[in-house]
A and B are shown apart, each in its own frame.
Chain A
Amino acid sequence: MSLYDELGGEASIDAAVGIFYRRVLGDAYIKRFFEGIDMEKQAGKQKAFLTMVFGGPNNYTGMDMRVGHKHLVEKMGLNDTHFEHVLAHLRSTLAELGVGSDKIQEIINIADSVRDDVLNR
């Protein structure tokens, strides 16, 4: 059974996106990267990302992540520290959803594997 099913499938991803996105927007250090963007589209992308890290059905190639963050890296200085803030928010989102610490580490490792795609390295 994948972690995705274990956590409750699509409904749990919807709950996670709500918590995760609120935490990210509430973080003064990174919220400027989210200003002026379409919140619905952003929530859709976060849902696809969380589905992937939870091991749900996905089609992840990294291309979308690279293209989607390229201008943020080049024009706004998106870097490792910002990425780590997002990871921290994912960690606390999972804790809030009651995911155990072993599973959290497993998910964080998967999320961390997209770091180079996000930072266009």
Chain B
Amino acid sequence: MPMITFDGHDYDCHQGETILEGLTRHGVLLPSACGQGVCQTCISKAVKGKPPVESQKGLKDTLAAQGYFLTCICTPEEDMELAVADVSKGWLKATVIEKQLLNESVMRLRLQSEETLDYFAGQFINLKHPETELVRSYSLASLPDEGVLELHVKRVPNGQMSGYLHDDAKVGGSFTIDGPVGDCFYTDKDLDQSLLMVGVGTGLAPLYGIVRDALQHGHRGDIHLFHASLAESGLYYADELNALAQQHENVHYIPCVLHGEVPEGGMKGDIQQLVQTAVPQLTGWRIYVCGDPEIVNGLKQTCFMAGASMADIYTDPFV
């Protein structure tokens, strides 16, 4: 009889009973609605134990890869511990090993964590301010096998955390971090699929990890990476991305600006319209959109309307 651990308590689950039924019998009421594995209201995460494959049907692949499953159709085969939301694995110590400005307001911060962080390129971590305990999330631009964690920190006017990271944090100083978190990352479900990636500002950070992760997996389909900013001074990593496009003929890098000079090979205008004009038909494509929430949500809908399936749209909206 499998035991289900939830919120620090153990509950037994009868033979043939779903986790939702088992916990309900014990008076533990989880959110649920259809009871048929369709509406996904009851989604939970297995932090210990492996959910049966059938209990992950219809879930986005990046959620299934992290142990998410549906309690209403999960008949557990072994002891499991669940969490209804993301749970912290505990804070890790990380040391600053490099600070480097990438343009006038974005700094590359490289950290070495005391324990290896197991993550998918494109996920994010939470960073705690050493003095005020303030917590902010930053996307990982690095690849797991690079060892160091790379973050792109934009200086926000009067931003407590970004101001501290830009002005006060010292190489050799340490922070506490936790994570990884997030479901915007690459999976090798189809190596020939065309990929559209759009990063606004430091929305490039997760994409810089995801595009290289895709290439490491041997992705063969075309990859169109748009990096958008108000003006050219807000772009960065153009050399690195141009080099990547040189090395891989399926990679296309398109820097985009709203005002001023247009960078070489780039475009000028509203990023949503530029994407719509450049790739009007997205049936069968996989989409990654990261950065400003308003633009990300707008593009998510635009891409869906242009034919992309919801299961193929991955987003990471952040300020």
Query: How many residue pairs bridge A and B at CB < 8 Å?
Result: 52
Distance in angstroms between the alpha carbons of A58 and B35 in the assembled complex? 7
A64 to B301, CA, bound (A): 25
What is the interface of chain B mostly: helix, strand, loop, or mixed?
A: loop
Chain A positions within 8 Å of B304 at CB level: 21-22, 25, 39
Does A26 touch B at the CB level, under 8 Å? yes
Q: How far is the CA of A59 from the CA of B21 in the complex (A)?
A: 14
Which of B34, B297, B300 lies in contact with A48, CB distance below 8 A?
B34
> What residues of A have a CB within 8 angstroms of the CB of B135 in the complex?
none
Instruction: Kindly supply a per-residue 1/0 record for chain A positions 3-26, scoring 1 wherever the CB is within 8 Å of any chain B CB and 0 otherwise.
Output: 000000010011001100110011
Q: Which residues of A have CB within 8 Å of B58?
A: 10, 14, 47
Interface size on A, residues (CB 8 A): 24
Give chain A's interface secondary structure class.
Answer: helix
Query: Smallest CB–CB gap between B69 and chain A, Å?
Result: 15
Cβ–Cβ < 8 Å partners of B34 in chain A:
48, 51, 58-59
Query: Which residue of A10, A25, A59 contacts B35 across the interface (Cβ within 8 Å)?
Result: A59
Nearest residue (CB) in A for B72 is: A59
Q: How far is the CA of A10 from the CA of B59 in the complex (A)?
A: 13
B134 cross-chain contacts in A, Cβ below 8 A = none
A44: chain B residues within 8 A (beta carbon): 38-41
**In A23-66, which residues have CB < 8 Å from any B CB?**
25-26, 36, 39-41, 43-45, 47-48, 51, 56-59, 64
For residue A97, give the distance in angstroms from its CB to the closest CB of chain B. 15
The one of A43, A45, A48, A56 that contacts B310, using a Cβ cutoff of 8 Å: A43
Most buried by A among B39, B40, B301: B39
Is the CB–CB distance between B305 and A26 below 8 Å?
A: yes
Q: How far is the CA of A10 from the CA of B300 in the complex (A)?
A: 24
Cα A44 to Cα B72 in complex, Å, equals 14
Q: Which residues of chain B from 20 to 68 have any CB-CB distance to chain A below 8 Å in the complex?
A: 33-36, 38-41, 57-58, 60
5 CB-based A-B contacts, threshold 8 Å: A22-B305, A25-B301, A47-B58, A58-B36, A59-B36
Residue numbers of B with Cβ under 8 A of A are 33-36, 38-41, 57-58, 60, 297, 300-301, 304-305, 309-310
